[in-house]
Amino acid sequence: MTAPDQNTDVDRRALIKSAVGLATVTLAPGVTLYAFGVEAASAPVTSAKRWGMLIDINKCPPGCDLCVTACQQENGWKSTGHPSTDAQWIRKVTLRDPETGKTREAPAMCQHCATPPCVDVCPTGASFKRADGIVLVDKHICIGCRYCMMACPYKARSFVHEEIDDQKTVAPRGKGTVESCTFCVDRVDAGRIPACVESCGVKGGAAMIFGDLNDPNSEIRKAVSAMATTQIRADLGLDPGVRYRNL
Amino acid sequence: MAKLKFQTLNRQSQSFWLLIFFHVALVAIGLSAALYMEEHGHIVTGMSNQIVWGLPHVFAVFLIVAASGALNVASVSSVFNKLAYKPYARLSGILAIALLLGGLAVLVLDLGRPDRLFVAVFNNNFKSIFAWNIYLYSGFIAIVGAYLFVMMDRQVSKSTVAGKAMGWLAFVWRLILTTGTGSIFGFLIAREAYDSAIMAPLFIASSFLYGLAFTVLVLAMMSSQTLSDLMPDEMVEKFSGLLVIFALATVYFTVVQHLTKLYSASHRDVEDFLLRDGGVYPVMFWLGQIAIGTIAPLAILYMRGKALSPRMALTSAAVLFLIGGLAQMYVIIIGGQAFPLKIFPGEKVSSSFFDGGIATYTPSIPEALLGISGVSLAMLIVAFALRLLPFLPQGAPRQS
């Protein structure tokens, strides 16, 4: 058995890093497509990181659904013509202040709570939170009891009501199980940002920032430190990883 | 006290076999409905991403709550030393197990992946009240089974200590079990209709009511089958009195639950929805639970011995209490979900995912059949058990 060629690995890694750096420079003003470096792909998931998202509602144009379509393309969920049972991992919610009539729109999805009720109530442990704060469903042990859907204050979860075809390899789905936004965990583990954030940054209003809330040098940490942000239903004390600005 | 005598169900009339055939057919149809739902997915039900628990849950929770209450008669006899109830203790135990199995069958068959039932056995998250319930339910069946053994075994039944100990254990266990069932809803902080510690005592009070109503109806049915009077006048009076107390307790907790929420400005809209503006749900509440399920049977029981024969009054009231119980579960389970979550409090919201809207729900035939078949399964188990072993008292029970 021959030893792996360490040099080749190092060279390949260096090359990818350079390419990532180049992509960052080329696409970037305000948009960081490859924010975390390729080390993330092989690094173990630890609580040193807390992935989070900041959404600036003032930069979220009415009628724009780039984040939604990007999520659909990335994760393979789509309309089947049954609106009440169709899965929606992210949607645009229209908010209207009943007193003033002021209207705006906000993307809503799994808020990746620090103390997620969906995880607490799941009888099998299929709903779980990774050490880095990403809340997921283990499709292998979800029994489809839907208790997590009853418990989620954000209506973030969908139940797969019918047979699914044409699935994406990065987002396996199954009839009779529950699913929700994964923060595009496969992309994050590969050092990339979620599809919605990428799409919003490249073609939309650049309303979304994704990053490590624990890293004092991250763009998101600097942003949430510098400006007032809101966690929706903060009164419930769940400490969502998604924050909103100008809500 | 004279030695109590028990009997198996030996005589079966044509009406009995018709009833058995009816229940077998319903169970078969219910199983077919479950297979149909499993094959096609929940798209063939009325459930959605808004109403995630539908009619099967209404029946399942109703039966599970009734199961713990059905054990009440046995508890009264052994824990509280009321000897008049002793002849019914065995029936009470087997009925409790049967109702629980009926409810659990519906609950399991309504899962998105019922084939993964064993996953739930081997993967437990003990922070989940659902996971606790897996042990509370299976423990209940084991404990009540052992309790029945202690009551029925020729040797062991001679020990009053064993009977008393098992009676206490079963009684405490059933209180914890119903607390667990109520807490499935009580622990849901996100849903304004639930999120209250009162759900547990409410469910306990309701369980006494439904459980005794089921017990009374089985006794009435078996009286006609065995051609003997299983409920003498004295017991008709006692059961009637208990039903009145349990109905009033259920109403009390229901009133306190709604008043507490009405008092809070933030919860007034959900109460307006459930009690006044919510279409089918206020109708279910006022007409189903309160008028048909509480006031009418209480009035009937009040008139027993006056305009109505006590026996007829008791059985009619029991039927109405059960109808009211189903209505109560429907309002709690479906109504509580139909009212939208307040994700952005203070804002009027709308989206393609039905945010801010009242959810609609029309049960499909398969899910209705699955739910109803749970009752039939419970009744079949009871009938089979009564045929197999002497659970029924013989003739009129006597008291020293």
Lookup: tokens for A9:
């690995």
Distance CA B366, CA B35 (A): 10
Total tally of structural domains belonging to chain A:
1
Residue A13 belongs to some domain of the structure: no
Alpha carbon distance, N-terminus to C-terminus of chain A? 60
Which pLDDT belongs to residue B224?
87
Closest B-chain CA to A233: B343
The arithmetic mean of pLDDT across residues B367-372, rounded, is 98
Q: Which chain B residues touch A119 with a CB distance below 8 Å? A: 125, 127
CA B125 to chain centre: 26
**Residue A190 banded pLDDT, cuts 50, 70, 90:** very high
**Whether residue B2 has pLDDT greater than 90:** no
- Would the CB atoms of A84 and B354 count as touching at under 8 Å? yes
Closest B-chain CA to A79: B352
Q: Pick A34 or A59 by higher pLDDT.
A: A59
- Would the CB atoms of A122 and B187 count as touching at under 8 Å? no
Q: Does B50 touch chain A (CB under 8 A)?
A: yes
Distances (CA, A) of A49 to A36, A134, A216, B36: 11, 10, 11, 45
Q: Of B67, B58, B325, B73, which is closest to residue B177 (Cα–Cα)?
A: B67
Q: Which of B49, B129, B191 sits opposite A84 (nearest CB)?
A: B49
**Residue A2 banded pLDDT, cuts 50, 70, 90:** very low
Residue A19 belongs to some domain of the structure: no
**Whether residue B240 has pLDDT greater than 70:** yes
Lookup: tokens for B136:
């509370």
Q: Distance, in angstroms, between A105 CA and closest chain B CA?
A: 9
DSSP reduced 3-state for B261:
helix
**Whether residue B363 has pLDDT greater than 90:** yes
DSSP for residue B112 = S
Q: Of B357, B207, B334, B354, which is closest to residue B283 (Cα–Cα)?
A: B334
Q: Which chain B residues touch A113 with a CB distance below 8 Å? A: none
Q: Which of A86, A108, A150 sits opposite B53 (nearest CB)?
A: A150
Q: What are residue B350's DSSP bridge partners? A: A94
pLDDT digits (tens, 9 = 90+) for B20-53: 999 999 999 999 999 999 999 999 999 999 999 9
Q: Distance, in angstroms, between B105 CA and closest chain A CA?
A: 13
- Would the CB atoms of A97 and B347 count as touching at under 8 Å? yes
Domain that holds residue A208: 34-245
Note the CATH number of domain B17-344+353-393. 1.20.1630.10
Q: Does B265 touch chain A (CB under 8 A)?
A: no
Q: Which of B112, B134, B189 sits opposite A153 (nearest CB)?
A: B189
Q: Of A126, A131, A127, A133, which is closest to residue A53 (Cα–Cα)?
A: A133
Per domain, the residue ranges of chain B are 17-344+353-393
Which pLDDT belongs to residue B102?
98
The arithmetic mean of pLDDT across residues A93-121, rounded, is 97
Q: Does B53 touch chain A (CB under 8 A)?
A: yes
The arithmetic mean of pLDDT across residues B382-396, rounded, is 90
- Would the CB atoms of A152 and B40 count as touching at under 8 Å? no
Distance CA B273, CA B271 (A): 5
Which pLDDT belongs to residue A43?
75
Q: Which chain B residues touch A242 with a CB distance below 8 Å? A: none
DSSP state string for chain A = -PPP-HHHHHHHHHHHHHHHHHHHHHH-TT--SS-S-THHHHSPP-TT--EEEEEEGGGS-TT--HHHHHHHHHH-----S-TTTS--SEEEEEEE-TTT--EEEEEEE----SS-HHHHH-SSS-EEE-TTS-EEE-TTT-----HHHHH-TT---EE--S---S--TTS---TTSEE-----HHHHHTT---HHHHHHHHHS---EEEEETT-TTSHHHHHHHHS--B-TTGGG----SEEEE--
Distance CA B373, CA B377 (A): 6
Q: Of A186, A195, A235, which is closest to residue A53 (Cα–Cα)?
A: A195
Lookup: tokens for B387:
């045929």
Q: Which of A92, A123, A143 sits opposite B112 (nearest CB)?
A: A143
Q: Which chain A residues touch B350 with a CB distance below 8 Å? A: 93-94
Q: Which of B191, B337, B351 sits opposite A92 (nearest CB)?
A: B351
Q: Does the ipTM exceed 0.90? A: yes
Closest B-chain CA to A104: B349
Q: Does B267 touch chain A (CB under 8 A)?
A: no
Amino acid letter for position A38: V
Residue A22 belongs to some domain of the structure: no
Mutation target among B37, B125, B332, B354 for the A interface, most CBs of A within 10 A: B125
Region of B134 on the Ramachandran plot (φ > 0 left; ψ -120 to 50 alpha; else beta): alpha
Distance CA B289, CA B204 (A): 16
Tell me the pTM: 0.91
Which alpha helices (DSSP H) does chain B contain, by range?
A: 14-40, 55-70, 72-78, 89-109, 117-122, 129-152, 160-186, 199-226, 233-263, 268-272, 280-283, 296-302, 310-330, 336-338, 365-388
Q: The domain that contains A122 carries what CATH number? A: 3.30.70.20
Q: Does B346 touch chain A (CB under 8 A)?
A: yes
- Would the CB atoms of A155 and B187 count as touching at under 8 Å? no
Taking residue A5's Cβ as centre, other Cβ atoms within 10 Å add up to 10
- Would the CB atoms of B41 and A176 count as touching at under 8 Å? yes
Which pLDDT belongs to residue A1?
35
pLDDT digits (tens, 9 = 90+) for B272-318: 999 999 999 999 999 999 999 999 999 999 999 888 899 999 999 99
Q: Of A57, A210, A145, A186, which is closest to residue B52 (Cα–Cα)?
A: A145
